[in-house]
Every structure is written in structure tokens, then in C-alpha cells.
Structure 1
Amino acid sequence: MTTILVTGGTGTLGRLVTERLRADGHEVRVLSRHAQPYAVDLRAGGSGLDTAVAGVDAVVHCASSPRGGDEQAARHLIEAARRTGVRHLVYISIVGVDRVPFGYYRTKLAVERLIEESGLGWTVLRTTQFHDLLVQLFQALAKPPVMPVPAGVADQPIEVAEVAGRLVELALGEPVGRAEDMGGPEVRSLESLARAYLAATGRRRPVVRVPLGGGAYRAFRAGGHLTPERAVGKGTFEEFLAARFGGGHHGR
């Protein structure tokens, strides 16, 4: 039996990683700000972090916040892993963090570099966006009577459970450095994905393509966040929507 620490183990991805590991008979420690007995704020560090990390075979680092603090959190985690002799640190990142000059992507890339230079055995898996992230985006964009979407941008959403399964495989194996990228099964325009969301939720909105400015938008238009050659995911966006929303009569 292997003992694995999952940071962010109560989140969308971390929860599934935890469930999969436990179902396979492994001991899992869940670290988050509120999960006992390993309630630790990684950004603050502290003795509780050493306690959480001590004696584990691997750490799967899923904790992340778009509000900031990821680099500080990674430094604290790496320092604790060094002190306690962790053999393998696995990190989930995003396809295109080195190609798209978007603030959150820059932070993820900085964390990748910290891990690569940590002296620990490490594995980094980059994936495309999870289906539910697109749903969150479309829920916000569909609030006005007209639904705006960035013009000329495609996406390649992936089923989060498939990513969790891959992270478990990687965590139970030897460190591999940069694992092969993992993309969803289809590269689709945001417009077509938005229309699928509207159909699934029973909303009626005109979808309007809106051109944006800036380097990040240009990089997204150029497909810097896509990996069509690694379209290894199976679950489609429509399948996710059907499971999430059912028949599509959920208000206008």
C-alpha cells in the first residue's frame, strides 16, 4: 500500500484523485485549508505541513488559486518535501502555460520551474481545460440577453475524471519529468461549445462573437492552449452536459 498526500484534495480534481486512490487501496492524506487532520494553508506553511508530508511516498499537488499565492505555496510544499524525504512530487498544470501570456498561466509556469529545480523526483502533467470550467464561463456569459464569446478562439475541453485517472497512474509510478500533454477529444470553437451549453440548459440567447485585444487573446486565437496531436480524452462536452443538466429544461 502506498501513502499519498493530495493537496487541494477537496477540489474538483483533487477529490476525484483521492477517491480513485482510496478505491485502489492506497492510504491518502487530504491537505486543504479546512480538511482535518491536515488543515494547512500552503501559502502560510508551518509545522502542520511537515506533519502532513512526513512519511508519504508521493505528493499530488492539485491545490491552486487564481487569486494568487501559488508560487509561495509551492515553495513551502517543496521545502517540506525536501525536509521529509518525499520521493515524488506530481503537479497538474495547463497546456500552453509557456505559450499564452495570461497571468494565471504565467503563475502555473513559474510553479513548474520551481518543481523542476527542486531537486526532488518530479512529474508535471499539462492538460487542457476541464468541462466544468467552460460551464462556469458560459453561466457567466449567458446572464445578459445576448451571450458574447471571444471571436476566433477554440477550446479542447477534457473530462476531469480522466485527468484524475492519469494523475493516479503517474503518482504510483516513477518520476517522469514532463509527462505527455493530455487534451480533450475535440478542438471546437467557443461559439459551438456555447451553443451546446445553451441547448443543454434550455436557454435561448443569441451568441455574438466579440473580438478582444491583447497578447493573451492573440495567443488563445493562435491555439497556444490546445494540443490537437494529444487528443487522448474520451468524454465529449455534450456527454458532460447531458450528465450535468439532463434534458435541458432549466430556465431561460
Structure 2
Amino acid sequence: MKNDAIMVTGATGVLGRQVLDRARHTGLPVRALTRRATLPDDPGVAWFTGDLAAGTGLDEAFAGVRTVIHCASDIRHFKNDIPAFHHLLEAARRAGVEHIVNISIVGIDRIPYPYYRIKLAGERLLETSGIGWTNLRATQFPELLNMAFGVLSKLPVVIVPTGTDCQPVDQGEVADRLVELALGEPGAGEPPAGGWGRVPDLAGPTVYPADRLARDWLRAAGKRRRVLPVFIPGKLGAGFRSGALTAPDRAVGKRTWEEYLAEHVAR
């Protein structure tokens, strides 16, 4: 079997859905991995049931795959992401996968947040995997901020970390870039000082204080809540306040936070 297919993991997630939609237009066979037993009726995509964390159902799904775009992550049980990455790499080696494109997060090497440590460990696994790889770090997705503020606004006060800047980047633009990278060679382009395979970060057009993002969201959603910036002590808080969540020199995204709010949140 010729290995020419693109596999998207996490294909039902916020980013994975966007990646899958764009992969359909590449002209290549497209596969998607889900833990669901009932597979979508999707004539443009070959869906497979598999569990990365358990390592089940992967060999059939990966057979014939040249490139994996790895979007799967379980933020609620993020410790499962490392065994899942191990299983992905093992299945990829068995199947003869040539290229893994991984999405990661700006600032994970400078902020000692537990989920970020897991993401960084995943990057290091990829670097030493022996498989061709490309790693893209992006800033915050508006859809995830929307979900977070939706939960926080259920309380009388919306709490945000003080002195923390964010730089939302449209998840659709990140999906465009991931598919572009998947169609190229591993680590295509000039790598930054992070090692071969890591491509320049992708950040949104504007840097905002976290409290400004919260107030903008509340205004768009028509909710009256007080926004309370809270000082986070220690290295974690210092990391947030250092600007590590942003990449002003990589403000290449086009779609703004205000445009997202107008389209998806405003009433």
C-alpha cells in the first residue's frame, strides 16, 4: 500500500475540525481518528475508531498514512497525553509514517504550568522519535477563550491573572498553516533557535491584557460581571506576567478578537 494519506488526530476537537475541513481540499486521501464507536457518515474522510491513550485500533488507522497532523489532547486528563504520544509514535513507526506535524503552545518552555510541561514533554518525544517532524507553536484560540469565559462568567466575579497578556489567533488560520506544513517536508523553512523541525510561531494580530479580553467578552455576551485580576505568586505567576504567552514578533494572524466576538458571541 502506498503511503500518501493524511491522518488527523483529535479530528472532532476545536482545532481538529478545522484541520480536517482543510485537509479535504488537498486532493490526498484523508483519515480521521476518534474514540467514538459510531463513526460519522462522511464521504470525504475515512474515519477510524482508535484510542491513543490506550494504544488500541491504531495499526489499521495508520496503514497507508504518510503524514499525521497531531491535534489530539485531553486537557482534563492531560497526563494521558504522554502515553498517547508514545502510542502514536510507535504506531507511526510500524506504519512507515514519514512526517508528523504537531501543534503546541507558545510559552510552554517558560511557564511551569502542569499542562504546558506535558506539552513540552511531547515535543521532546517527537524530537527524538526518529520520524520526520514539524512542530508549530501557536497562541490562544478565541474558541477556547470563549469556552473559558463562559465557565468563569457563571460566578459573580470573573477572575483573571493580573499582568498577563494574551494574543488570540484564529484557529482556522492555525489549521491552514498545519495543512500547509503537512504538504511540505519535515521542518520546512528556516527553523528558529529551537532545533530543526520547529517552525516559527503563529500568533494573532494584537496583544491584549487578560482583563481586557474578559471585559470585551462580557460586553459582547451581554453579561454584567465584575472582572477581578488576581496576583498569582511564584514562578507560575511570574511566567504569566513575563509575556511568555505572546509572540509579538510573530503577529502574522489576520482575524481579530473583535471579529470573533462579533460573529460568535455578540447578542
The TM-score with structure 2 as length reference comes to 0.89
Task: Choose the corresponding residue for 2:250, options 224, 230, 238.
Answer: 230
Cα distance, 1:28 vs. partner? 1.0
Task: Choose the corresponding residue for 1:60, options 60, 69, 83.
Answer: 69
CA distance in 2, matches of 1:169, 1:3: 14
Cα distance, 1:217 vs. partner? 1.7
Cα contact 1:146–1:205 (8 A) shared by 2: yes
CA distance in 1, matches of 2:144, 2:174: 14
Task: Choose the corresponding residue for 1:108, options 99, 114, 119.
Answer: 119
Task: Choose the corresponding residue for 1:219, options 239, 244, 257.
Answer: 239
Cα contact 2:5–2:28 (8 A) shared by 1: yes
RMSD: 1.4
Match of 2:262 in 1: 242
Match of 2:207 in 1: 187
Q: Encode CA deviations 1:116-171: one digit per residue, 9 max, x unaligned.
A: 10000000000001001111221222222232221111101110000000000000
CA distance in 1, matches of 2:84, 2:157: 40
Gaps of 5+ in 1: none
Cα contact 1:184–1:231 (8 A) shared by 2: yes
Match of 2:53 in 1: 43
CA distance in 1, matches of 2:105, 2:158: 26
Alignment-mate amino acid for residue 256 of structure 2: T
CA distance in 2, matches of 1:78, 1:145: 45
Residues 51-130 of structure 1 aligned to structure 2 (within 5 Å): 51-66=60-75, 67-68=77-78, 69-130=80-141
Runs of 4+ in 1 over 6 A off after TM superposition: none
Alignment-mate amino acid for residue 216 of structure 1: L
- Give the SS at the match of 2:49: coil
CA distance in 2, matches of 1:115, 1:8: 17
CA distance in 2, matches of 1:214, 1:139: 27
Cα contact 1:31–1:39 (8 A) shared by 2: yes
CA distance in 2, matches of 1:95, 1:163: 13
Cα contact 1:141–1:149 (8 A) shared by 2: no
CA distance in 1, matches of 2:74, 2:180: 24
Match of 1:139 in 2: 150
Cα contact 2:165–2:243 (8 A) shared by 1: yes
CA distance in 1, matches of 2:221, 2:64: 47
CA distance in 2, matches of 1:60, 1:146: 38
CA distance in 2, matches of 1:241, 1:18: 24
Match of 2:8 in 1: 6
CA distance in 1, matches of 2:125, 2:74: 17
Cα distance, 1:214 vs. partner? 3.0
Q: Encode CA deviations 1:214-236: one digit per residue, 9 max, x unaligned.
A: 32121011111211110111111
Alignment-mate amino acid for residue 63 of structure 2: A
Cα contact 2:4–2:64 (8 A) shared by 1: no
Match of 2:34 in 1: 32
Cα distance, 1:199 vs. partner? 1.1
What percent identity do the matched residue pairs reach? 53
CA distance in 1, matches of 2:200, 2:13: 23
Match of 1:23 in 2: 25
CA distance in 2, matches of 1:199, 1:26: 43
Q: Encode CA deviations 1:93-134: one digit per residue, 9 max, x unaligned.
A: 001111110000000000000011000000000000100111
Task: Choose the corresponding residue for 1:210, options 212, 215, 230.
Answer: 230
Cα distance, 1:2 vs. partner? 4.4
Cα distance, 1:15 vs. partner? 1.0
Residues 155-174 of structure 1 aligned to structure 2 (within 5 Å): 155-174=166-185
The TM-score with structure 1 as length reference comes to 0.94
